[in-house]
Chain A
């Protein structure tokens, strides 16, 4: 068992950028210098993605044609199981993404592999693979290992590892997976357009985000005005969007938007549930205002203020007249 296998993620013909982050994660997880890193592309037409995954640090690209055009966990599991059996890597990396939520755990069970999700640090120590993830709403770190497991599958958190710079000329091979019965059939993709507006949360450099702490819809306006005065884009956590107080397109988190371009993030009345942190934890300056001193958001914030958010909004507004 040796070598690291990165399983690329693609959706609707586009490579998901987290794939390249996995290549960087693989570099830190080499058991010995020179351990090979292969990227497997499981797709209907895998050849289309070869160039996109040929980045620095990749020794081989394996094209694995699967019958399904769209996401099909049965097809991915069967293909990955067969590929792992054929190549016997010691480590397999997938993204901790929504698609991986739908198949990575099943892969681990079917192969009896070692397994951990939402991993943000990995590597060998004393010849033992160790992975670190968060616990209790990210308030603690948990280091795990995988005794007795010859193959370990890790789902790696996005926005932690920087994608490699530069291209490479990896060897290209093809692997034919066994056929898999399809028990889950894709029908269509739907752009969730309910209440979408023209504010692009992914592109915003300065975001003021509000959460459950605002209490009711009537209070949104106060923060809308504050965001305007500060020059921030107004975003929100899931409960605010689910309640329909702000459009879904303003939601930041795992299944909402990622604050990709954000440099300053001010979170007011957001407790810091795991699904929200996934969309903003990487921002370089995070300011959190929350009435609850035990809120998880203070574990990821750069600066924290324990205060009533309405009083704070008012006091802040006075600092930004006009």
Chain B
């Protein structure tokens, strides 16, 4: 039995950055890449199931250009058995829905019993990809899961969704299913130096949309549910910064707090 873990190579911004010439994204020179924090928890959850049973294969999949291999190598170093990356130029400009179409195509090929995705990504936070994958596959799906009980090979899993205000909703879901994993569901492991070295030598299977049977018209802007018109820095985009020594800063903060805390000041 197999668990497919969909991961994303996210980007964060430096303090200073510039918008690209076409005004639709940040200049790639200012992007700092890393494995999405949520996906670390997804992979760990898959590893827990793998280690509790036998014959469980964990496969990490990522849609992205060559530099996304870095995210997949992290997954390999933490114990994923295989890694798949999907890309060609036609994928550029795809939104979460078009990306989900590709991940669903990989799932059709791999036939996992469970597919994990992070609740959201730390960069664009669409919170859409996993559930969209489920829709393309017409699989049951549950989002924002903080507890999962599944016996490998079982026909259903029991999970808890974490709702607003600290309420949990326990549900039973038929498998195969897509589950989006929330932070805190487990404690992700660190990869050892040895396993990081070993992962560097492992192959990453690279697939094109064509090999997965996804047409060009279903990718990029044409295959997306939204199109970026422009990206810009909002007018009020930065706090008024309080400078000075720590004592001076603290004195100014104390003044602000006294002015604004209300009640018993």
Which of B's residues lie within 8 Å of A, judged by CB? 11-15, 17, 19, 26, 37, 96-97, 100, 119-120, 122-132, 134-136, 140-144, 158, 160-174, 177, 180, 182-184, 221, 225-234, 237-242, 246-247, 249-251, 253-254, 256-257, 260-265
Q: A136-B123, A257-B165 are in contact. Are A184 and B132 (CB under 8 A)?
A: no
Instruction: State in angstroms the CA–CA spacing of A231 and B158 once bound together.
Output: 43
Q: Is the CB of B97 within 8 A of A108?
A: yes
A146 close to chain B: CB less than 8 A? yes
Q: List 4 A-B pairs, minimum CB-CB distance, nearest first.
A: A304-B239, A315-B250, A319-B254, A109-B135
| B124 and chain A: residue at smallest CB distance | A135
Instruction: State in angstroms the CA–CA spacing of A249 and B167 once bound together.
Output: 10
| B146 and chain A: residue at smallest CB distance | A255
Q: Is the CB of B227 within 8 A of A145?
A: yes
Q: Is the CB of B128 within 8 A of A117?
A: yes
Q: Is the CB of B261 within 8 A of A146?
A: no
Q: 27 interchain pairs (CB within 8 A)?
A: A98-B143, A102-B144, A105-B96, A105-B126, A109-B136, A137-B123, A143-B231, A144-B228, A146-B225, A183-B174, A184-B140, A184-B171, A185-B173, A187-B171, A187-B172, A189-B168, A190-B168, A205-B261, A206-B261, A206-B263, A238-B184, A241-B184, A264-B260, A274-B120, A274-B122, A275-B183, A285-B256
Q: Is the CB of B174 within 8 A of A205?
A: no
A15 close to chain B: CB less than 8 A? no
Segment among A21-29, A48-56, A68-76 that sits at the interface with chain B: A68-76
A192 close to chain B: CB less than 8 A? yes
A285: chain B residues within 8 A (beta carbon)? 256, 260
**B128 CB → nearest A CB, Å:** 4
| A74 and chain B: residue at smallest CB distance | B140
Instruction: State in angstroms the CA–CA spacing of A134 and B228 once bound together.
Output: 12
Q: Is the CB of B163 within 8 A of A139?
A: no
Q: A103-B131, A117-B126, A238-B184 are in contact. Are A183 and B173 (CB under 8 A)?
A: yes
Q: Is the CB of B161 within 8 A of A140?
A: no
Instruction: State in angstroms the CA–CA spacing of A249 and B238 once bound together.
Output: 30
Residue in A105, A149, A307, A318 whose beta carbon sits within 8 Å of that of B132 in the complex: A105
| B37 and chain A: residue at smallest CB distance | A273
Q: Is the CB of B231 within 8 A of A141?
A: yes
Q: Is the CB of B261 within 8 A of A299?
A: no
| A70 and chain B: residue at smallest CB distance | B169
5 other A-B residue contacts (CB within 8 Å) besides A242-B183, A306-B241: A98-B164, A101-B144, A192-B162, A298-B239, A312-B249
Instruction: State in angstroms the CA–CA spacing of A96 and B160 once bound together.
Output: 20
A34: chain B residues within 8 A (beta carbon)? none
Instruction: State in angstroms the CA–CA spacing of A137 and B15 once bound together.
Output: 12
* Interface hub of B142, B164, B221, B249 (most chain A Cβ within 10 A): B164
Q: Is the CB of A254 within 8 A of B164?
A: yes
Q: Is the CB of B184 within 8 A of A304?
A: no
Instruction: State in angstroms the CA–CA spacing of A4 and B182 once bound together.
Output: 32
| A140 and chain B: residue at smallest CB distance | B231
Instruction: State in angstroms the CA–CA spacing of A20 and B239 once bound together.
Output: 30
A97: chain B residues within 8 A (beta carbon)? 164
Q: A188-B170, A251-B166 are in contact. Are A106 and B256 (CB under 8 A)?
A: no
* Interface hub of A105, A130, A134, A141 (most chain B Cβ within 10 A): A105
**B9 CB → nearest A CB, Å:** 14
Q: Is the CB of A231 within 8 A of B226?
A: no
Q: A102-B144, A232-B261, A303-B256 are in contact. Are A71 and B169 (CB under 8 A)?
A: yes
Q: Is the CB of B232 within 8 A of A205?
A: no
* Interface hub of B26, B100, B124 (most chain A Cβ within 10 A): B124
Q: Is the CB of A140 within 8 A of B261?
A: no
